[in-house]
Amino acid sequence: MHRRCRTALAVTAATLLAAPLLAACGNEAHPGAAAVVGGERIEVSAVQAQAADVRTAQESSPEAAQLVNKSGQLNRAKLHGLIFGRILDKAAEDAGVTVNRKEIQEARTASRAQAGGEEQLRAMMLQQRWVAPDQIDGDMRQEVLLPKLAKALGADLGTPAGQQVVGEALTKASKQLKIDVNPRFGAWDDQKMQLGNYKAPWITQVTEFAPQEPEAGA
């Protein structure tokens, strides 16, 4: 896979502070939900299950202590990814873009070759993106989908203008989905594609050129 695409999708969050797994949601409007996106719930249990898979993989690594220490608010990072995935799906649907199984496997094969093998790919995904082995294909799907969305929009992700076009499409989809996040996890910012103070550099690269909302009173 092209290095630029992988750079645009590289997820790191080493600056996050350590936090325990969050308990059941306290949002009375949506009990048990970490977020509601487009009227569909993302359960706290689903977020915690993804985080647990990552922890299990980390603890089996020779670098377990370092990996765990650097993956602080893992639940929030996983919820962030789940929300963004639904936004990307919505933007892609609006643009008439789809991804098939063959494309995902081709992307994984290319990534495996670039990493130097399957074991190295798994280690890299776990360290850099907090992705457990059984979550890699889902990550690859987004890796394929984002550039295809950009192409459908006539945008080049390698340019500020192209990033602005894609950012605008993602922001539009985010607003249409009316994302409601449980306060325990923070609030979702449609413009920044950001959950609370969690910042994913791969998303920032795409959205930083999107037009900013005018400040109140401006």
Q: What is the pLDDT of residue 62?
A: 83
Higher pLDDT, 22 or 167: 167
Cα torsion 26, 29, 30, 35 to 10°: value is: -80
pLDDT of 73 reads: 81
Cβ pair 122, 133 in contact under 8 A: yes
Mean residue pLDDT across the chain: 82
| C-beta neighbour count of 16 within 10 angstroms | 17
**Rounded mean pLDDT of 148-156?**
97
**Predicted confidence band of residue 208 (pLDDT cuts 50, 70, 90):** low
pLDDT digits (tens, 9 = 90+) for 44-88: 999 999 999 999 999 988 888 888 887 778 899 899 999 999 999
Q: What is the percent of the chain where pLDDT is above 90?
A: 61
- Asked whether the predicted pLDDT for residue 22 surpasses 80, the reply is no
181-194 tens-digit pLDDT = 999 899 999 998 88
pLDDT, one tens digit per residue, over 106-141 is 999 999 999 999 999 999 999 988 999 999 999 999
Average pLDDT score over residue span 169-175: 97
Q: Is the pLDDT score of 167 beyond 50?
A: yes
- In this model, does residue 17 exceed pLDDT 50? no
Residue 172: what pLDDT? 97
DSSP single-letter state for residue 79 = H
Work out the burial of residue 165: count CB atoms within 10 Å of its CB; fewer than 13 is exposed, 13-18 middle, 19 or more buried: buried
Tell me the average pLDDT across 5-12.
38
CB proximity list for 65: less than 8 A, separation 6 or greater: none
* Residue from 214, 194, 213, 212 nearest 204 by CA: 194
Pick the closest to residue 71 from 137, 21, 9, 134 (CA basis): 21
Instruction: Band the pLDDT of 15: cuts 50, 70, 90.
Output: very low
State mean pLDDT over 6-26.
34
Predicted local distance difference test score (pLDDT) of residue 31: 75
pLDDT for 2 beyond 60: no
Residue 13: pLDDT band by 50, 70, 90 thresholds?
Answer: very low
pTM of the predicted model as reported, rounded to 2 decimal places: 0.79
Q: What is the DSSP letter of 198?
A: B
